[in-house]
Structure 1
Amino acid sequence: MNKNINKLLNALSQQKGFVTARQLAEIVGVTERSIRNYVNRINNTTKDQNVIISSREGYILNKKICSNYLNNKIYETIDDKLLFDIAIILTDTDEYIKLEDVSNKLHYSSESIRVKVQKLFYKIKKLGLNIKIDSRIFTGIKLIGEEKDKRILIEELVPIQNFSKDSLINDLNNFLSKITNIDELNLYCNEVINKTMINYHFTIGYLAYIKLIVHIVILKYRISNGNIVNCKNCYNVNDICSFAEFKLSQNLAKQLKFNNYDKEIYMLTYYLLSLPINFSENDNIRDNHTTINICETLLKTEKNFDLPLFSCEKYRTQIKNHISRAINPIKENIPIFNPYFSELKHEYLFAYVIASYIYDDLKNKLNIVNIPESEIAYLSIHIQFILNNHSSPVINALLICNCKKIEVELIKSKIEIFFENIKVQNIMSSIDKLNNSNYDLIFDANNDHKKDVNNNMVYISRNFSSNDIQRVQRYLETIGTSKIISQIDYYKLNEKNSIDAIKYMLTKSGYLHLLNFFLERESMSTTDIGNLTAVPHPFLKSGFHIPKAIVGINESSILWGEQNVRLIILYIPSNKLEVNKRFFRDIYVHINDITIVQQLLKSQSKLEFIKIWNQERGY
């Protein structure tokens, strides 16, 4: 699928309402005309309804049919198949082969083959594979590398999102015709994978199911040609035997008749560990060097985030088992398959921060070079579950009300019934009697509003209506963050890359000594979150106590990871979990709407930026 069309669909999926062509053009990094062409191209692939609805207000995703659209064969896969077939020819030989010979085999011009080989080179580089394309004048080209990496390359060239559910076998047969046939595909799907799923009581998503079919086709083809993998054996035999995936791998190897190759069974186990497979029963992973290090990291993370990742046995076991499974494919540089990575990184922003911290601490302990962002996103699902179930701290509140005692008690009772974590500790008849503001929240039910007395004050009516409840809820979601926004540093800048932008903002605000912490975080996983926004921050380690936000609006878009960015919200975290959690939640609420982002980008001063930000909060 066209990369820019992917960006367009991803941008539209994040919006609540209509988005203009101009806004989309800035997000995707193309012209408005290109956006209109992409929309027409997408809509022309469906008959009755458009995938993207157009109006005078702009564009919006038709979510009713979007999922069907994404699961159907959208574009012709001729170019994808040509690249795949070239890779098969290059991996099938240990000798140099001339481009003319490749073009003759595939019936394409030498120039077309040369362009595709260049594209193959960039694909290898992007995947970080231990493969190189060696080229010699008058001799030809040769693919040099490990068998495992060659298989990964071949598999990553298969556009699994283009295969229709209704004609899966035929689509796969057409694309993989160089290495399999329809009889083999029927055997692998119906007799091997489907029956194994029933016998071993596991489920798997549709795209992962296609990945598994493709992997088995490639595995069988390569073994039949005498190409055997050589894996690192990251675990000893006793450890790997505890995984349900190992037993599944043994069964598949027996059915596919390669069970006499131990290293192939180990490698298939590692591959299965990289897929989101759900077993009906949890396996019991043995304690070993890896699990001990994971537990040490969870204890450290719990202390820094005040989140029961270690002390709660249920959470500790869940995360320990998840990471233990992921370590092998990560060490073998097998891609962790996660088709929902972008959405998870955007929606579970704070959970993603904690997951990044965990893997940063584990990198040196477990001798891991790179942690794929797709795996960090998977771990963030577990973290988000814990955040959702983690009880919020008690909020000490003051109620100001000059009603009769029984009316005051009724208001107090309503507040504490609707919000269990709010405890009204004191009641006063007037704000004038307030000597200090040692309360997390102040309710003012009097009519003589005195603006800006306290930034933790919420005005309510004496009957505590539904509007009051909504107002309190909005405040609770951002409690402690309004002060951060009110004290932002605000800069206009014109930098060309993300590192220079971070360095400029830290220097201007006097935090340059933290630069390495920010760069360390970016090296783990870039902090772009979509909608032209990035939220760079250091790993949340002990030592940072006073939270600080620095806002930068860049004159033009910067490529930040794989996203275009203009709004930079640099955050130096608090040592309080709830403050950080709410601040990231506050960012998500604002950045989720491109219209608000555009308004923030047009701001000309700190005060104007804060005013726009607070309007969305309803303050």
Structure 2
Amino acid sequence: MSDRRQRLLDYLAENDGWTTSGQLADRLGVTTRSVRSYVTAAKSAAEPLDIIVSSAEGYRLNRDAYAAWVGQRSGDSGGDRLYRVVRQLNETPDGLDVHELASALFVSESTVEADLRKARPILDECGLTLRRQGSRVSVQGTEENRRRLVSRLFRAESARGFVEVERIQNEFGSVNLTAFKTDLLDLLGAGGYFVNEYGLDSVLLHVAIAVDRTLKDLVPTDAAATVPPQGELAPGILDLLDRHFAVTLSGADLEHLVMLLTTRVITPGHDLQAHEQTEQLGLTDDVAFVREVARRASERYLIDLDNDEFAVRLALHVRNLVARARVSSYSRNPMTRSIKTSYPMTYELAVFIASEIQRKESISINDDEIAYIALHVGSHLERQSRREEMVTCTLVFPNYYDIHLMMLRRLEAALGDEVRVDKIITRTDIDRAEIDTDLIITTVPALALGDSTVLVQTFLTDDDIDTIRRAVRRVRRQQRRRQLKDELLLYFSEELYVRNLSARDEVDMITQLGERMLAQGIIDEPYIAGAIERERMSSTAFTDTVAVPHSMLMSANRTAIAIAVNDHPMDWGENRVNVIALIAFSSSGRNSFQTIFDQFVEVFSERDEVQQLIRGSVSFSAFIEELVHLMDS
């Protein structure tokens, strides 16, 4: 099956509802006619199973039929056959006969020869070579590179999803990992370690490979010599391996597993205070560096990262990150895409921190590792974030003993997290216009006029509480709509808005939008160069439909956005986007911009909303009105 047909199936698999041919065409970079042909071809290949359902609303995957078809395909495709050929060659030190291999696979010898040609670059990538002597072929290379090949093949097969224990279990039938994982977690917890669950399954893959090859007696004698284990983890791991698999790994294997655990999965000190962790784990220099980076980030992004626990946790993570990066052994993060889409400002802050680490350590940090930094930053910001601003209220009702105090206590007990009573008025001869508050709650019918006033009973009932709660939501909505338009107009302008701006590539688009800002005196040439440099580090396509290029320099004269809204998408990194928003940041405008920016990107996470915005943005004023409507929704 062609790559684009498989991508079509993958995209349908990611969505639960209907997907139109236009949406698929945008995603694949083809015409709707091509989409229809891909659907027809995919359905034909899966007959008699009906894997794609079609209707006037578009296409949807029949998940049960698709799962059955995928199961049937196992071992039938050329890719699966190549996988089996390479695995057999890797596990047969004496090599394989091409004629016998073709017969066993029920294919022609020319097909096997073609598979061997495809296998060469895979083997080369892992430091192995394919040797040919007559009709016999064999793989030559070290034990370490043979294991790298197994891992590489497994990861290629699992590239579209999280590498789970069950998948590894199915691949290595002789290795039971579930109970081993449970006991390993207990061992790590008892040792006082934080555990990164995302990295653990990746390490279990290496455990499975090592155990499987040892049990099959595929490890060379010189590599199997036991080396006395080093470090506090090694004895416990040796004991677990013996109890679960009745196997003793070589010293090299054990050392490798301990290294993987310490750099990918665990950080010590979850039961220590921040200052104790710093002292006992030798983190003084690491924490000092993180604090300095956090200080610069706080100045640049106007947020508070001054926290002892945050500095120590991030320092532990950075220490392991640097160790991984030095050997180009990065941890895969299955949440990278969702973090970039849902928390763009947090991700951008993580990019800044990663750039500082790269500069100091002379390493390269990829998107997955940046997303892990974003998890640290995001969890810290969430813990320290203040609750949403409450709606202010004034209580107005005639004075009678302490009845007003009874109402106040009832109101605070029911809505204490949503409203704040600023004033209690016990007279009725007042001018309502003089009351400066978000909401008036009163027992006086004559005062109960307008959306910002709620009429209640003398003794608050449950219905009264529900009515007040609805009024609070209504007030917040009205406030938000007023604020949104005013705030958007601080950053967008008609001079920086353009429809259907064509560009050759990302650099050309950034340059064109940057020149418009340059003409307005908002930025200078170095800012455009900085935006291009930032783009090359990590794509700023935070969703499938919008890219937000920018520089990490905050040298703009004011914070502003130059935006292109295009009917037809353009390639941007691995995405195809219709909207490109070049952002210029000034040091004074970053804080007020953050909330707007997060909401702006959120709008573009829903393709239907994006299409509505594109269709409705026939002018700048229409664009602003449509954007306010979608952000408010």
TM over 0.5: yes
Q: SS in structure 1 opposite 2:542?
A: strand
Paired residue for 1:76, among 67, 74, 77? 74
The answer to whether 1:336 aligns with 2:321 is no
Q: Work out whether residues 259 and 265 of structure 1, in 8 Å CA contact, stay in contact via their aligned partners in 2.
A: yes
Paired residue for 1:500, among 504, 508, 512? 508
Q: 1:166 to 1:298 in 2, by over 3 A?
A: closer
Q: 1:391 to 1:300 in 2, by over 3 A?
A: same
Paired residue for 1:607, among 603, 612, 621? 621
Structure 1 residue 132 displacement after superposition: 8.2
Q: Work out whether residues 541 and 548 of structure 2, in 8 Å CA contact, stay in contact via their aligned partners in 1.
A: yes
Paired residue for 1:305, among 278, 283, 301? 301
Q: Deviations over 1:104-151 (max 9, x none)?
A: 8866556545665676677799xxx67587999999999899876664
2:257 corresponds in structure 1 to: 268
Q: Deviations over 1:499-550 (max 9, x none)?
A: 22222221343254323311222232111123332111222x4434521111
Q: 1:228 to 1:367 in 2, by over 3 A?
A: farther
Distance 2:593 2:222 in 1: 49
Structure 1 residue 39 displacement after superposition: 6.8
More moved, 356-365 vs 247-256: 247-256
Matches within 5 A, 1:558-577: 558-575=570-587, 576-577=589-590
Higher relative contact order (CA 8 A, sep 6+): 1
Structure 1 residue 586 displacement after superposition: 1.9
Structure 1 residue 358 displacement after superposition: 0.6
Matches within 5 A, 1:378-397: 378-391=372-385
Q: Deviations over 1:151-187 (max 9, x none)?
A: 44431322247999998688425xxxxxxxx4x32xx
User: Which structure has the larger Rg?
Assistant: 2
Amino acid paired to 2:373:
L
Distance 1:114 1:606 in 2: 61
Paired residue for 1:469, among 467, 476, 487? 476
Distance 1:163 1:538 in 2: 32
Distance 1:272 1:209 in 2: 8
More moved, 207-216 vs 347-356: 207-216
Distance 2:34 2:222 in 1: 46
Matched positions, count: 553
Structure 1 residue 381 displacement after superposition: 2.0
Structure 1 residue 338 displacement after superposition: 2.0
Q: 1:524 to 1:56 in 2, by over 3 A?
A: same
Q: Work out whether residues 550 and 582 of structure 2, in 8 Å CA contact, stay in contact via their aligned partners in 1.
A: yes
Q: SS in structure 2 opposite 1:156?
A: helix
**What is the root-mean-square deviation in Å for CA atoms of aligned residues?**
5.7
Q: SS in structure 1 opposite 2:492?
A: helix
Paired residue for 2:591, among 561, 578, 595? 578
Q: 1:273 to 1:5 in 2, by over 3 A?
A: farther
Gaps (5+ residues) in structure 1?
A: 174-181, 230-236, 432-440, 446-458
Structure 1 residue 366 displacement after superposition: 1.5
Q: 1:190 to 1:339 in 2, by over 3 A?
A: closer
Q: Work out whether residues 14 and 592 of structure 1, in 8 Å CA contact, stay in contact via their aligned partners in 2.
A: no
The answer to whether 1:359 aligns with 2:319 is no
Amino acid paired to 2:184:
T
Q: SS in structure 2 opposite 1:564?
A: strand
Distance 1:423 1:136 in 2: 87
Matches within 5 A, 1:393-404: none
The answer to whether 1:154 aligns with 2:150 is yes
Q: Work out whether residues 477 and 586 of structure 1, in 8 Å CA contact, stay in contact via their aligned partners in 2.
A: no
Q: Work out whether residues 307 and 390 of structure 1, in 8 Å CA contact, stay in contact via their aligned partners in 2.
A: no
More moved, 323-332 vs 481-490: 481-490
Distance 1:316 1:247 in 2: 31
Structure-2-length-normalised TM-score: 0.67
Matches within 5 A, 1:426-505: 461-463=452-454, 466-473=473-480, 480-486=487-493, 489-491=496-498, 492-505=500-513
Q: 1:221 to 1:478 in 2, by over 3 A?
A: farther
Distance 2:44 2:477 in 1: 39
Q: 1:444 to 1:118 in 2, by over 3 A?
A: farther
Gaps (5+ residues) in structure 2?
A: 224-228, 399-406, 424-430, 441-449, 455-470, 519-523
Q: Work out whether residues 491 and 561 of structure 2, in 8 Å CA contact, stay in contact via their aligned partners in 1.
A: yes
Q: Deviations over 1:441-488 (max 9, x none)?
A: 99899xxxxxxxxxxxxx964455532222334666888444213456
Structure 1 residue 357 displacement after superposition: 0.9
Q: SS in structure 2 opposite 1:157?
A: helix
Distance 2:432 2:557 in 1: 35
Distance 1:198 1:534 in 2: 44
Q: SS in structure 1 opposite 2:177?
A: helix
Paired residue for 1:513, among 526, 543, 551? 526
Structure-1-length-normalised TM-score: 0.69
Q: Work out whether residues 169 and 177 of structure 2, in 8 Å CA contact, stay in contact via their aligned partners in 1.
A: no
Q: Work out whether residues 545 and 575 of structure 2, in 8 Å CA contact, stay in contact via their aligned partners in 1.
A: yes
Structure 1 residue 312 displacement after superposition: 1.0
Amino acid paired to 2:57:
E
Structure 1 residue 364 displacement after superposition: 2.1
Distance 1:273 1:349 in 2: 29
Distance 1:97 1:293 in 2: 55
The answer to whether 1:218 aligns with 2:217 is no
Distance 2:452 2:82 in 1: 67
